Amino acid sequence: MVDQAGKDLMAIDSRLFTAKGSIDSLHQEIAEFFYPERASFTKEITLGEEFASHLTDFYPVLVRRELGDQISSMVRPSDSQWFKAKASNERISRASDAASFLEFMTDVNRSILYSRDSGYRRAAKDCEQDWAAFGMGWTQVAYTKKRDNLLFKTHHPKNMAGCEGPDGQVNHVHRKCDMKANAMAHLFGESKLPQPVKNALKEKNLKDSFKVRHIFIPLDIYEPYRKFPKGAKWADIYVTEDGTILQEIPAFTFDYIVPRWQTLDGHMYAVSPATIIALPQARMIQRMMMTIIEAGEKQVDPPMIATQDAVVSPIDLSSNGITYIDSEYDERLGAALRAVELGKNTGLGVDLVNDARARLADAFYINKLAPMASIQGQDVTAYQASQIVQEYIRHALPLFEPIEDEWTGRTLDLVTEKVMRAGGYGPVDRNGIPVDMPDILLGQNITYEFNNSLKEARDRQVIGAFQESAQLLQAAMALDPTLRTDVDTRTAFRDAFGSVPNGRSDWLIDAQQAEASRRQMQQAMAEQQQMQQLSQGAEVAGQVGNAAQQLQAATAG
């Protein structure tokens, strides 16, 4: 049934999608050169169409793909435990009961992300490729119908529109979706469907799709919010294009992750710094490659010049072909049939293309993300290695820090919220807190620490600094042993040990527990030393007594 709320939502929808029309045009051009699989912003890709046939050089597509793949291998390497839950207070995170529960949360989240039916791997890959090409991605995280798992889906940017909230974060999303009648009946129930959809369902029509909008809208701008329960912040709505509301339920979490690379002042939609500066180069390299191909063809199979009336048969340039020339033609006037010498300097064009490719690699950070490649097989000092690591971090941070926060960080935060609300960490109390959560974690902000190549490079710096400090202290103590008291070696060791790659939180015990154990050890050592002193005293006394007896015996004799 069409109502005013549905019409109002579609009016907002129309304004949002109209406002992003220019962005879609830019994305279409970017996609045609860098991401032809997504080049359907302003036109449709027909199934079976050779949609990349307009490209003469694939290198722009290759560098975009390489950057997207680098993101996945850097921020979420699937072959290792690339994240772990932690409390905002590091001391609390290291408490044994808190560490055990946090590792349990980590294991639950990982099992959900990498379960077979969650779709996370595909969604993450699509989002990272969209990030590399367009500077932003749109990923939806939803419960399954039974609420026993989470479903991840990255949507085509052309179907997405949204706007920011007062805090500058995306908090309002509209999505175009084409749905089949059976899918709509499964999600919304047959009774809520418009009559055309019911007819298609009755006829078992699996071909036709129906235009639907999925809208996540804040309650402060959605009028019917008063009927929602306390704590709800969004309305999760499905509505047809004519304004028929199919679903209207409260939402306690914002179920879209919209990572953005670089935004422009006054605009919500982000851009990719890589493709923006590389787009002119991508256009040029296609024209250059076409010129080189034509020049190579002219050099291998050059065009021919024939003297009029001298050639008396069709020209046959095939193997063993024969072309007849008038017998009376005097070739001293010039060859009756000769090749036009063109395309001789194709090497210059190849050099220009290679230079253009190098510039594309620079634009996509490809040459900056493998600093160790230049020293493979060489012996380098610890100082040289540390300098290379520092250079790597300087180049990698501008690229990976935004996506680590905007993408993987927000994904894990949303997964934690949704899993906790669904009781995935165990039964919850009336406040939505797991009853098994240790008291020490209550009120703590649960965050995530990332274990990836970038963090490993940072940790290596900490470990290297500790080793250099230890060597310096050892050299100083050779001159003055009292300098040992100038350095808090225990704190330095704990910081360096905590930075060991792939280390576990339970390897390093709580500082207070370590202090208690150290005092017990010192007391035991003191008691042992005292016993040794008493034993030595008794031995000396025995020796003195024996000497006295021997002296007395000698005197008596």
Tell me, yes or no, whether 410 and 269 share the same domain: no
Tell me, yes or no, whether 473 and 532 share the same domain: no
Which of 469, 489, 507 is the endpoint of a domain? 507
Answer whether residue 323 is part of any domain: yes
Tell me, yes or no, whether 449 and 525 share the same domain: no
Per-residue pLDDT for 85 more than 60? yes
Q: Which residues, including other chains, have CB under 8 Å from residue 58's CB and lie 6 or more apart?
A: 52
Per-residue pLDDT for 499 more than 70? no
- Other beta carbons within 10 Å of 20: 17
Tell me, yes or no, whether 463 and 445 share the same domain: yes
What is the phi-psi region of residue 135: left when phi exceeds 0, alpha when psi lies from -120 to 50, beta otherwise? left
Answer whether residue 124 is part of any domain: yes
Chain segment 109-137, per-residue pLDDT in tens: 999 999 989 999 999 999 999 999 999 99
Tell me, yes or no, whether 159 and 260 share the same domain: yes
At 380, the pLDDT band (50, 70, 90 cuts) reads low
Answer whether residue 47 is part of any domain: no
Per-residue pLDDT for 431 more than 90? no
3-state secondary structure 370-432: CHHHHHCCCCCCHHHHHHHHHHHHHHHHHHHHHHHHHHHHHHHHHHHHHHHHCCCCCCECCCC
Chain segment 149-175, per-residue pLDDT in tens: 999 999 999 999 999 999 999 999 999
Cα of 323 vs its chain's centroid, Å: 64
Average pLDDT over residues 317-321: 82
Per-residue pLDDT for 484 more than 90? no
- Other beta carbons within 10 Å of 419: 19
Answer whether residue 366 is part of any domain: no
Answer whether residue 84 is part of any domain: no
Total domains in the chain come to: 4
Tell me, yes or no, whether 322 and 449 share the same domain: no
Stated as kind and residue range, the H or E segment containing 70 is helix 59-75
- Other beta carbons within 10 Å of 498: 15
517 by DSSP, 3-state: which? helix
| 337 vs 134, more confident | 134
How, if at all, do strands 170-180 and 209-218 pair? antiparallel
Domain that holds residue 551: 511-557
Cα–Cα distance, 109 to 114 (Å, whole number): 9
Q: Residue 551 has what pLDDT?
A: 56
Write out the DSSP string of 91-155.
HHHTSHHHHHHHHHHHHHHHHHHTSTTT-HHHHHHHHHHHHHHHSB--EEEEE-TTSSSEEEEEP
Tell me, yes or no, whether 118 and 214 share the same domain: yes
Which of 465, 482, 507 is the endpoint of a domain? 507
- Other beta carbons within 10 Å of 147: 13
Tell me, yes or no, whether 155 and 221 share the same domain: yes
Cβ distance 246 to 240 under 8 Å? yes
Average pLDDT over residues 347-357: 81
Chain segment 512-529, per-residue pLDDT in tens: 666 677 777 877 777 777
Q: Residue 150 has what pLDDT?
A: 96
Answer whether residue 270 is part of any domain: yes
Which of 274, 294, 316 is the endpoint of a domain? 274
Tell me, yes or no, whether 198 and 269 share the same domain: yes
Answer whether residue 238 is part of any domain: yes
Answer whether residue 298 is part of any domain: no
Per-residue pLDDT for 17 more than 90? yes
250 by DSSP, 3-state: which? strand
Tell me, yes or no, whether 397 and 490 share the same domain: yes
| 498 vs 223, more confident | 223
| 27 vs 316, more confident | 27
Tell me, yes or no, whether 522 and 502 share the same domain: no
Tell me, yes or no, whether 499 and 518 share the same domain: no
Write out the DSSP string of 10-34.
HHHHHHHHHHTHHHHHHHHHHHHHH
- Alpha-helical (H) ranges within 311-381 are 346-363
